[in-house]
């Protein structure tokens, strides 16, 4: 009888280090040389326990989890449901480890975090992959050095803005104009705010938990009603947005709404709190085509300062969110920084590294970027890094030059004139007629309250579309096929 072997690859400290830019075939060869390490996990955990690094009261539970995982990986009798449950528990444990070392930089026991990551991946039988580690990508000054040097030069005002604009516009026309057409496309979408209940204390956000603002959560019928208003205005791509309150905005809630939208031939995407890999998989199965997840700032010290309390305080949970989404089957990954929180040059460099890392790991995914800019913040917070219009335009041009095929997104935070200008240069996706308050599209009872931020461009969708058409752009309302995941309702 053939001996059962556990195939959990692992990069040990004496072997070759993983390189995100390595050819995939080379990575497979590297992984094939790595020995199984489930037994190592148990031994390493005991070392952590002896050093007092495991949380009080969790040692026995974690040892039991390792034993169960080992049995599932070595045997063939564990059900898919059981394996999924074990993977979710191991994933949560890994992020507790990463959070534990948050205040002293990268985890001192990187090997344990990596091994847990690979074990969770193996449990759900996904393709073999290297451990997640975007931290290494965003902090590695040698990564994409030439690309970043060129980007830094573009942000220098000695480089004429007109030259930068011309180059960005040429690249956008080249990659977003259909064959045989002389008009390049731009997609219009609308955000649908579902709930402004939030447990986080983000100092810059209108939804922050301590604020005394009118709160509202839409049930599924109310949310579908709002979506139908948007459909009547022409939208076929809707971005679902909500505050972070897991008692109300559950994965089942989002999946139910996505399923209802798919029945109406609407392609939904989500801009919500980071989810587990399993939850993202459930959303993808329901027809969600993409995830937008802004890191806000890649400066971890400032990140912790701006997020003093709540689940959003976990830097790594958020940083790896897009990676979990891609592994779960999401086709589109939306990155962004919130301009005003940190030095835009430093944040831009980190985001470009992050994007390069994601592109190397998920070459079939569509990348998208947005640069939301704080214009008005809650009382008591003043953005410490003001970004003027010229710098704003330069940043978008840098994104286009660095990632010529990426979607560049612009919201109604910005005034109409600036949006019109950027649309002609490099923007490929733009919101229109937006409301940032739950229930805000039904105005029969007067203007809504409890918005996340003020809308600056208040033009109707048809007005925005008309302006773009007059500028020679082809306005589209449906998500391009390459970014859309087929739903269960499509033939």
Domains of the chain, CATH where assigned: 24-131 (no CATH), 149-483 (3.20.20.70)
Is pLDDT at 403 greater than 90 in this prediction?
yes
Longest dimension (CA), the chain: 74
Helix axes 145-155, 344-361, angle to 10 degrees: 140
| Residue bearing tokens 């269960």 | 488
Is pLDDT at 405 greater than 80 in this prediction?
yes
Whether the Cβ atoms of residue 420 and residue 456 lie closer than 8 Å to each other = no
Mean pLDDT value of segment 52-73: 69
Q: How many CB atoms lie within 10 A of CB 251?
A: 18
Mean pLDDT value of segment 295-312: 96
Mean pLDDT lowest among 299-303, 359-363, 446-450: 446-450
Mean pLDDT value of segment 186-207: 96
Per-residue confidence band for 463, with pLDDT thresholds at 50, 70 and 90: very high
Structure confidence at residue 175 (pLDDT): 97
Give the separation between CA 35 and CA 337, rounded to whole angstroms.
Answer: 39
Structure confidence at residue 4 (pLDDT): 35
Phi, psi angles (nearest 5°) of residue 465 = -60, -40
Structure confidence at residue 67 (pLDDT): 82
Whether the Cβ atoms of residue 332 and residue 290 lie closer than 8 Å to each other = yes
Is pLDDT at 45 greater than 90 in this prediction?
no
Structure confidence at residue 445 (pLDDT): 64
Structure confidence at residue 231 (pLDDT): 97
Phi, psi angles (nearest 5°) of residue 329 = 110, 5
Which parts of 185-335 fold into alpha helices (H)? Answer: 220-232, 251-263, 277-285, 300-306, 315-319, 321-327
Q: Is 243 helix (H, G, I), strand (E, B) or coil?
A: coil
Q: How many CB atoms lie within 10 A of CB 81?
A: 8
Supply the mean pLDDT for the chain: 85
Mean pLDDT value of segment 100-113: 65
| Stretch (H or E) spanning 37 | none
116: Cα separation from own chain's centroid: 22
Mean pLDDT value of segment 151-169: 92
List, as one string, the DSSP characters of 122-133: HHTTPPP-PPP-
- 188 or 109, higher pLDDT: 188
Mean pLDDT lowest among 108-122, 157-171, 428-442: 108-122
Q: How many CB atoms lie within 10 A of CB 167?
A: 16
Structure confidence at residue 35 (pLDDT): 33
Structure confidence at residue 41 (pLDDT): 52
Whether the Cβ atoms of residue 72 and residue 86 lie closer than 8 Å to each other = yes
Structure confidence at residue 153 (pLDDT): 87
Structure confidence at residue 113 (pLDDT): 86
Per-residue confidence band for 78, with pLDDT thresholds at 50, 70 and 90: confident
- The string of pLDDT tens digits covering residues 360-381 is 999 999 999 999 999 988 888 9
Is pLDDT at 42 greater than 80 in this prediction?
no
Return the percentage of the chain with pLDDT > 70, whole number.
Answer: 83
Whether the Cβ atoms of residue 331 and residue 365 lie closer than 8 Å to each other = yes
DSSP state of 5: -
Mean pLDDT value of segment 265-283: 97
Give the separation between CA 85 and CA 325, rounded to whole angstroms.
Answer: 18
Structure confidence at residue 74 (pLDDT): 83
Structure confidence at residue 480 (pLDDT): 80
Is pLDDT at 8 greater than 90 in this prediction?
no
Is pLDDT at 28 greater than 90 in this prediction?
no
Return the percentage of the chain with pLDDT > 90, whole number.
Answer: 67
- The string of pLDDT tens digits covering residues 304-348 is 999 999 999 999 999 999 999 999 999 999 999 999 999 999 999
List, as one string, the DSSP characters of 310-376: SGGG-HHHHHTHHHHHHHTT-SEEEEEB-BTSS-HHHHHHHHHHHHHHHHHH-TTSEEEEE--B-SS
List, as one string, the DSSP characters of 450-489: --SS--S----HHHHHHHHHHTT-EEE-S--GGG-PPPTT
- 70 or 489, higher pLDDT: 70
CA distance readout (Å), 335 to 97, 183, 209, 443: 25, 27, 24, 32
The pair of structure tokens assigned to 371 is 């640069």
Residue 35's contacts (CB-CB under 8 Å, 6 or more residues apart) are 10, 12
Is pLDDT at 432 greater than 50 in this prediction?
yes
Is pLDDT at 259 greater than 70 in this prediction?
yes
Structure confidence at residue 141 (pLDDT): 80
* CA nearest to 487, candidates 345, 283, 184, 219: 283
Is pLDDT at 387 greater than 90 in this prediction?
yes
Whether the Cβ atoms of residue 298 and residue 346 lie closer than 8 Å to each other = yes
Whether the Cβ atoms of residue 331 and residue 344 lie closer than 8 Å to each other = no
């Amino acid at each position: 009888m053939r001996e059962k072997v556990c195939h959990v690859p692992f990069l040990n400290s004496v072997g070759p280090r993983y390189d995100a830019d390595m050819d995939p075939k080379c990575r497979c060869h590297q992984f094939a040389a790595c020995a199984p390490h489930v037994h190592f996990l148990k031994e390493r955990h005991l070392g952590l326990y002896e050093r007092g690094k495991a949380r009080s009261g969790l040692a026995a539970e974690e040892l039991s989890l390792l034993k169960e995982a080992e049995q599932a990986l070595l045997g063939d009798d564990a059900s898919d449901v059981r394996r999924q449950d074990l993977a979710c528990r191991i994933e949560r444990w890994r992020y507790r480890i990463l959070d534990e070392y948050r205040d002293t930089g990268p985890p001192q026991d990187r090997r344990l975090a990596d091994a847990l990551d690979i074990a969770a991946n193996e449990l759900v039988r996904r393709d073999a992959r290297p451990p997640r580690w975007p931290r290494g990508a965003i902090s590695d000054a040698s990564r994409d050095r030439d690309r970043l040097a060129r980007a830094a030069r573009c942000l220098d005002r000695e480089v004429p803005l007109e030259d930068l604009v011309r180059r960005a516009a040429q690249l956008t026309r080249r990659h977003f104009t259909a064959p045989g057409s002389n008009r390049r496309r731009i997609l219009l979408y609308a955000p649908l705010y579902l709930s402004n209940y939030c447990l986080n204390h983000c100092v810059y956000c209108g939804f922050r938990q301590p604020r005394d603002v009118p709160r509202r959560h839409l049930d599924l019928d109310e949310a579908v009603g709002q979506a139908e208003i948007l459909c009547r205005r022409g939208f076929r791509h809707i971005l679902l947005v909500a505050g972070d309150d897991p008692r109300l905005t559950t994965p089942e809630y989002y999946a139910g709404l996505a399923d209802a939208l798919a029945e109406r031939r609407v392609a939904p995407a989500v801009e919500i709190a980071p989810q587990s890999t399993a939850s993202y998989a459930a959303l993808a199965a329901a027809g969600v085509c993409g995830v937008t997840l802004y890191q806000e700032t890649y400066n971890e010290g400032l990140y912790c300062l701006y997020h003093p309390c709540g689940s959003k305080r976990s830097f790594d949970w958020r940083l790896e969110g897009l990676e979990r989404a891609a592994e779960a089957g999401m086709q589109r990954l939306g990155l962004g920084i919130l301009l005003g929180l940190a030095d835009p040059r430093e944040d831009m460099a980190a985001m470009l590294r992050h994007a390069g890392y994601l592109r190397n790991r998920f070459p079939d995914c569509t990348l998208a970027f947005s640069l939301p800019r704080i214009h008005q913040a809650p009382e008591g917070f003043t953005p410490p890094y003001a970004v003027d219009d010229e710098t704003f335009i330069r940043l978008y041009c840098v994104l286009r030059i660095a990632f010529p095929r990426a979607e560049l997104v612009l919201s109604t935070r910005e005034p109409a004139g600036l949006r019109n200008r950027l649309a002609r240069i490099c923007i490929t996706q733009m919101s229109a007629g937006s409301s940032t308050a739950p229930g805000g599209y039904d105005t029969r009872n007067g203007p809504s309250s409890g918005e996340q931020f003020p809308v600056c461009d208040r033009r109707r969708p048809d007005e925005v579309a008309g302006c773009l058409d007059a500028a020679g752009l082809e306005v589209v309302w449906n998500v391009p096929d390459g970014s859309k995941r087929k739903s269960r309702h499509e033939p």
